[in-house]
């Protein structure tokens, strides 16, 4: 008859071996994730970002064309197989409780916007850069959607100097940003914006230094605005293999498409902090108040606000970090 202590010892030994093998495997995965992440933060950027049309092409779509396959092949050859299978859709249907809160949000939306606008602008607007002290850690990763002339970016670099990807869809300002940060190897500038689909929209430069240029105010201009699907871009970047410490969006209405697209998948779980403006008075933007209130409820499932000027500017942090 087998002695009990031998059976227990054998089971414990098997468990220990399993734990060691699993730990070794996860360390290899972690190393590969870090290599993939770091590949995007070189002085010249990765080869696939050298040409905007790798992302946006009027004749092909990254979701079905060869661009995504080429990128996956490049990553696979350099780092081994890249498992994107952990990214999957998630429901955006509101529960009855969420729906009730969204109705209340909508009822108070105009009042909230007026009150918070007067509080925020000229008084407390610098919170959008000074709030994010967690970016001081050595390996912090930040993505900004809508770089414009780089005023916010310069402040983020001055305060924290994170590993920084700036997306700017207007070529004129993309070139300005490239020149502005050419001596900072931690900053990568990409001539593309994010949205719900791949498209090139012809717009007119509007506002001071183009800061009011938007695809929603008209599409009969002379300047191309390059846009690609938000989820595809982030997956191709490797998000899901590593976390983004801050994703901040200030893109004249594209915030709604970016948020809705990301919130329709579990990619939102890999964004530690999500900061965004709202531009809810923008002409041509469809149902901004209703969409804002639904976005609030979808974000509540995984994040909580760390500062909030409703319908003006706000930032949300992942629940496990609070």
Q: Give per-residue pLDDT as tens, 106-124.
A: 999 999 999 999 999 988 9
Q: Give the per-residue pLDDT at 86.
A: 75
Residue 2 CB contacts under 8 Å (≥ 6 apart), including other chains: none
Q: Are 315 and 273 in contact (CB under 8 A)?
A: yes
Q: Give the per-residue pLDDT at 70.
A: 57
63-67, 104-108, 196-200, 228-232: least confidently modelled range: 63-67
Q: What is the phi/psi pair of residue 177, to 5°?
A: -65, -40
**% residues pLDDT > 70 (the chain):** 69
Q: Is residue 70 part of a domain?
A: no
Q: Is residue 16 part of a domain?
A: no
Q: What is the phi/psi pair of residue 129, to 5°?
A: -110, -40
Whichever domain contains 181, its CATH number is: 3.40.50.150
Which candidate, 210, 182, 192, 214, places its Cα nearest to that of 279? 214
Angle of helix 288-300 relative to helix 254-263, nearest 10 degrees, comes to 30
CA distance linking residue 143 with residue 146, whole number of Å: 10
Could you give the number of structural domains in the chain? 1
Q: Is residue 148 part of a domain?
A: yes
Q: Is residue 125 part of a domain?
A: yes
Q: Is residue 49 part of a domain?
A: no
pTM for this entry? 0.77
User: Across 51-65, 68-82, 198-212, 256-270, which has the greatest mean pLDDT?
Assistant: 256-270
Confidence of residue 283 (pLDDT cuts 50, 70, 90): confident
What sign has the CA pseudo-torsion 290, 296, 301, 302?
positive
- H helices then E strands: how many in the chain? 9, 10
Domain that holds residue 246: 91-321
CA distance linking residue 312 with residue 105, whole number of Å: 14
Q: Is residue 135 part of a domain?
A: yes
Sheet holding 193-195, edge to edge: 193-195, 223-229, 199-203
Which candidate, 219, 232, 273, 225, places its Cα nearest to that of 249? 273
- For residue 115, the tally of other CB atoms under 10 A from its CB is 15
Q: Taking the mean position of all CA atoms in its chain, how far away is CA 242?
A: 12
Q: Taking the mean position of all CA atoms in its chain, how far away is CA 58?
A: 24
CA distance linking residue 193 with residue 190, whole number of Å: 8
Q: Is residue 26 part of a domain?
A: no
pLDDT in tens, 218-277: 667 777 888 899 998 998 888 988 899 999 999 888 899 999 999 999 999 999 999 999
Q: Are 189 and 177 in contact (CB under 8 A)?
A: yes
Q: Is residue 68 part of a domain?
A: no
Quote the tokens at residue 173.
């300002």
The DSSP H or E segment spanning 7 is helix 4-39
């Amino acid at each position: 008859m087998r002695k009990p202590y031998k059976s227990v010892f054998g089971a414990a030994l098997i468990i220990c071996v399993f734990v060691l093998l699993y730990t070794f495997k996860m360390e290899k995965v972690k190393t590969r994730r870090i290599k993939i992440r770091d590949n995007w933060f070189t002085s010249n950027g990765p080869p696939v970002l050298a040409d905007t049309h790798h992302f946006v092409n009027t004749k092909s779509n990254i979701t079905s064309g060869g661009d995504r396959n080429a990128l996956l092949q490049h990553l696979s050859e350099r780092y081994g197989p890249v498992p994107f299978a952990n990214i999957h859709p998630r429901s955006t249907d509101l529960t009855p409780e969420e729906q009730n809160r969204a109705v209340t949000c909508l009822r108070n939306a105009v009042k909230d916007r007026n009150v918070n606008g007067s509080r925020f602008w000229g008084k407390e607007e610098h919170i959008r850069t000074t709030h994010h002290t967690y970016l001081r850690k050595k390996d912090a990763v930040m993505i900004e959607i809508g770089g414009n002339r780089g005023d916010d970016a310069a402040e983020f670099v001055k305060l924290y100097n994170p590993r920084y990807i700036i997306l700017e869809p207007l070529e004129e300002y993309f070139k300005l940003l490239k020149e502005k940060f050419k001596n900072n190897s931690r900053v990568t500038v990409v001539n593309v914006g994010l949205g719900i689909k791949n498209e090139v929209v012809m717009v007119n430069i509007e506002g001071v230094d183009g800061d009011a240029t938007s695809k929603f105010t008209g599409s009969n201009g002379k300047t191309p605005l390059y846009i690609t699907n938000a989820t595809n871009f982030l997956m191709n970047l490797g998000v899901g293999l590593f976390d983004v410490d801050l994703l901040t969006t200030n893109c004249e209405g594209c915030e709604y498409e970016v948020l809705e697209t990301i919130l329709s998948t579990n990619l939102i779980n890999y964004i530690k902090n999500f900061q965004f403006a709202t531009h809810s008075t923008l002409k041509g933007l469809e149902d901004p108040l209703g969409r804002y209130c639904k976005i609030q409820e979808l974000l509540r499932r995984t994040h909580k606000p760390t500062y909030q000027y409703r319908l003006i500017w706000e930032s949300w942090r992942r629940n496990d970090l609070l």
